[in-house]
Structure 1
Amino acid sequence: MVRHKIVLHFPHEQVDKPIVSKLVRDYNLDFNILKASITPREEGLLVLEVTGEEADYDRGLEYLRSCGVEIQPLSQDVRRNEERCTHCGACLAVCPTEALRLDRETWEVRFAEDDCVACELCVRACPPRAMEIHY
């Protein structure tokens, strides 16, 4: 069983089609929508956590690509700018998944990308704007 967080970019001609529902029906995958921005006649953006057997996951992603959907891991889109981060800890209080954690030995903030759900609360809370979203 695999679990991946991915970002889907839909071309404008595909945003009104039931592409994602086929992941459940035809590929036995479960998904949780973490973020969505779909506008008719414009590009659509969907952040999903997808769970299923690895072979089904691979076939499902191949199907999405065949529909013109661009796929990338969520970790490419949510980043911490290490040069800007002052390790002030303002992000720690707002992170619902504890993807941002305090290292008690170094007193530095650590970012566990795999735990991030792209809620963007850290972006608003970060005084030096070290947390960045690049969709």
Structure 2
Amino acid sequence: MVSRRVVITFPAGKAVQPLTYYLVKDYDLVINILFARISPDEEGTLVLEITNSQAENIEKGIEFLRSQGLIMENLAKAITWDESKCVHCGACTAVCRPRALRLDQPTWRLTFDQSKCIVCELCIAACPLGIIKEAL
């Protein structure tokens, strides 16, 4: 299986069609919604992981979304943290919905699973020491 993570920006007024339905039905794609902030009359953002056995089907699905006036970007950003400076306070875990940042029990040490991270950047603002950063 081939997977690709993309960030889709919906211009205002473009979030009115069931686009994920068309991706599943017409292109046989498996869609995992990692993050969504969408309103019909406002600009919105959707982060998807798109999976299929053939990369060509993923590309066709992405081209379909572009043809609908959506802005597509590969999710190439990443979050990094300096574990040596971390005090393991857990403030970042409170805002990490996909649980990429967690306090390991029983040690209560912060762990970071990059594969679960959707790069929403909420943890950056939550870290009181400023040691969580965006890496391009």
2:33 alignment partner AA? I
Q: Distance in 2 between matches of 1:130 and 1:73?
A: 25
Q: Distance in 1 between matches of 2:34 and 2:50?
A: 10
Q: Secondary structure at the match of 1:50?
A: strand
Instruction: Note the C-alpha offset of 1:113.
Output: 5.1
Question: 2:69 corresponds to which residue?
Answer: 68
Instruction: Note the C-alpha offset of 1:24.
Output: 0.3
Q: Which runs of 5+ in 2 are unaligned?
A: 103-109
In the superposition, relative to structure 1, how do residues 121 and 89 fare at CA in structure 2: closer, same or farther (>3 Å)?
Answer: farther
* Kept after mapping to 1: 8 A contact 2:79/2:132: yes
* Kept after mapping to 2: 8 A contact 1:34/1:118: no
Pairing of 1:31-110 with structure 2 (within 5 A): 31-52=31-52, 53-76=54-77, 78-80=78-80, 87-88=85-86, 90=88, 94=93, 96-97=99-100
Q: Which is worse superposed, 31-40 or 121-130?
A: 121-130
Q: Distance in 2 between matches of 1:70 and 1:121?
A: 22
For the pair 1:21 / 2:21, whether they are aligned, the reply is yes
Identity %: 36
Instruction: Note the C-alpha offset of 1:75.
Output: 2.8
Number of positions where the alignment pairs a residue of Structure 1 with one of Structure 2: 121
Scaled by the length of structure 2, the TM-score of the pair is: 0.67
Q: Distance in 1 between matches of 2:31 and 2:128?
A: 33
* Kept after mapping to 2: 8 A contact 1:4/1:49: yes
Instruction: Note the C-alpha offset of 1:42.
Output: 1.1
Q: Which runs of 5+ in 1 are unaligned?
A: 100-108
Instruction: Note the C-alpha offset of 1:34.
Output: 1.2
Instruction: Note the C-alpha offset of 1:5.
Output: 1.7
CA RMSD in angstroms comes to 3.4
Q: Secondary structure at the match of 2:19?
A: coil
Q: Secondary structure at the match of 2:28?
A: coil
* Kept after mapping to 1: 8 A contact 2:100/2:113: no
Instruction: Note the C-alpha offset of 1:19.
Output: 1.8
Q: Distance in 2 between matches of 1:25 and 1:87?
A: 48
